[in-house]
Amino acid sequence: MPTRTTEPAPGATTAAVHRTGSPAARARRTGRAKDWARRAPLLPALVFLVVVTQLPFLATVVISFTRWNALAPDNRGFAALDNYRAVFTDPAMRASVGTTVLLTVTVVLVSLLLGLGLALLLDRGFRGRGIVRTLLITPFLIVPVASALLWKHALYNASYGLINGSLTWIWRLFGSDSPPQPDWMTDSPLAAVEMSLIWQWTPFMMLILLAGLQSRASDAVEAARMDGASAFDIFRFLTLPHLRRYLELAALLGTVYVVQNFDAVFTITSGGLGTANLPYTIYQTVYQSHDYGRASAQGVVVVLCSLLVATFALRTVSSLLREEVTA
Amino acid sequence: MTTTSLLPRRAGSPATGRRRRTGSLLGLVAWLCGIAFFLPVAWMVLTSFHSETDAATNPPSVGAGISLHGYREFFGAAGGGVSPWPPLVNSLTASVVSTLLVLLLAVPAAYALSIKPVRKWSDVLFFFLSTKMLPLVAGLLPVYLVAQNAGMLDSIWLLVILYTSMNLPIAVWMMRSFLAEVPVEMLEAASIDGAGLATTLTRIVAPVAMPGIAATALISFIFSWNELLFARVLTGVVAGTSPVFLTGLVTSQGLFLAKVCAAATVISLPVLIAGFAAQDKLVQGLSLGAVK
């Protein structure tokens, strides 16, 4: 491996290749056989992903231009842009775009902030830190459907859920027999879904940020403290810049998963009361309206929107990788 | 606490005393947060050990007697319900087999991307991650139609393939950073000794990168075990997984809170055990090393 330096960052080599040019010449000498040997281990994964994820999407694009409802199999044909027109004029579809954005942004931001706070707390030494970390990780390890069912039936339920039950209990402590008993899932359905998702995703954010905090060199912090820097200054000027990349990564991964959330919406509200997000809406178009053409058009629109977000997000990660190269 | 011990000159100064007090106060806050986050899970487990009447009360009956009724109902011993074993076995098969496939595909790919950088390696890496950005639901219909025509609906192997593709991108990302830590000298020595790709991978790379492989496997297992949408759409009677079974518990026969909590506890148990056992690896793995 003549082109490889001892620097662990693999990109460094590529950068060096472009800079000096001589390894490129060397690569030409080693010939195509070696090039193939180098790429060969990559191929199975690449081919697999293209076949399983890209081909179906291509098929989705084709179907999106056809008139195809499974309930009327004889009436199939080329629909041009009819499905897309239906998607963009459908108020339910537009509403679900808004819901998806609101749900994702709220859940990712709140759990990121909570996760940051918890990671900072856990980064300090205190008695029983390991136990607290275990307690905090647990929500992430509960099967999402189970957690959705748990929130819906054991916590939110208006007549016997834990939240209203605790209110009754507290009010009784003070001698009152008329505690407030709100119906959480009908009064604030989207917040109910968001709450359960925040509970589930905060540990994920915390784990990533904790890993970030623990990879930080402690001597800079020590030196700053010796120089009399306040805790806030240390956080603002040392910890936060170091965590930036971890915060971006956590936000990116959280967004990828929360945008696609189906379990909580499906279980807690069944998409009712303005909680239907895009994945749930597509699911409904396929399995309730059986309108394959329109479902595909919805899918394509979702993908295009995601690509917009993804391009932005990937640019962030790409800056992340560039920093790795120059580091 | 460790910081104060590193600074003996300051020990006993008012600032240190204040810091120690805030320190223990923050420890208390951390404990309270931990308990708050754990509370719903504790409630789920407690409710699963209550009788149905004690489970659904207002105010909550914390001290009610222990009953195994929910578990007996869940496992079908009482009331002659549907057996949960086939879904549990299906989940286990889908998760374990797809995780093995993910490792089989991701380790060589990550090896190509990290240890012997392919030209344009970052583009390839972005391609992998971008497949993760596409909402799975957008490819669901064609997969469903193809499966229907190929007679593969309600087959666990279809889920295995889909779960593999679902977890592969993240796995490649994670593995790449772990493999980047394999010392180059070891690889060069192996290459001088004439070791081929397979030997290098199994004898040198795998042992060094084992913690990373374990973390990747764990994440892949968790996401497969948890998946609902594909399982719900593409399986039916035979190949239904545990999450699908769980949703069925509520819709088909009304609500039995203790039974549902027992089911949720049992189905979450494999992931809980694996996650608790490998916490450190999880922390390491989730950092994805992309930022290392």
Measured CA angle at B186 (ends B183, B188), to 5 deg: 110
Contacts of B143 in chain A (CB under 8 A): 56
| Mean confidence (pLDDT) of chain B | 80
Place of tokens 């930080």: A216
Can you give the pLDDT at residue A10? 43
Residue B290 has pLDDT above 50, yes or no: no
Higher-confidence residue of A27 and B151: namely B151
ipTM computed for the complex: 0.82
Question: What's the whole-model pTM score?
Answer: 0.82
Residue B132: pLDDT band with limits 50, 70, 90: confident
Q: What is the pLDDT of residue A28?
A: 58
Tell me the per-residue pLDDT of A34-78, one tens digit each, with 9 for 90 and over.
667 777 888 898 889 888 888 888 888 888 898 888 777 777 778
Report pLDDT for B187.
79
Closest-approach residue (CA) in chain B for A142: B268
Greatest mean pLDDT range, A137-146, A177-186, A212-221, B242-251: A137-146
pLDDT level of residue A26 (50, 70, 90 thresholds) = low
Partner residue facing A1 (CB), from B122, B184, B222: B184
Of A160-169, A297-306, B216-225, the range with the lowest mean pLDDT is: A297-306
State the DSSP string of B174-200.
Answer: HHHHHHTTS-HHHHHHHHHTT--HHHI
Give the largest Cα separation in chain A, rounded: 88
How far, in Å, CA of A226 to CA of A235, rounded?
Answer: 15
- Whether residue B8 is preceded by a cis peptide bond, meaning omega within 30 degrees of 0, is no
Chain A residues whose CB is inside 8 A of the B169 CB are 49
Question: What does the pLDDT read at residue A27?
Answer: 53
| For residue B115, pLDDT beyond 60 | yes
pLDDT at B91: 93
Q: Residue window 107-136, chain B: list those with CB within 8 Å of chain A.
A: 108-109, 111-119, 121-122, 124-136
pLDDT value of position A21: 53
Percentage of residues of chain A with pLDDT beyond 70:
84
Partners of A168 on chain B (C-beta within 8 Å) are: 58-59
Over residues B226-275, the pLDDT tens digits come to 999 889 888 877 888 999 988 888 755 556 888 889 999 999 999 999 88
pLDDT in the model for residue B123: 75
A178-187, A251-260, A299-308: range with lowest mean pLDDT: A299-308
pLDDT at B209 exceeding the cut of 60? yes
Residue A25: the pLDDT is 59
Instruction: Select the more confidently predicted residue: B222 or B61.
Output: B222
Which residue in A204, A151, A45, A188 sits closest to B129, CA to CA? A45
Interface test with chain B among A110, A145, A305, A314, by most B beta carbons within 10 Å? A145
List the beta bridge partners of residue A69: A291
- Report, as an integer, the average pLDDT of A18-33: 57
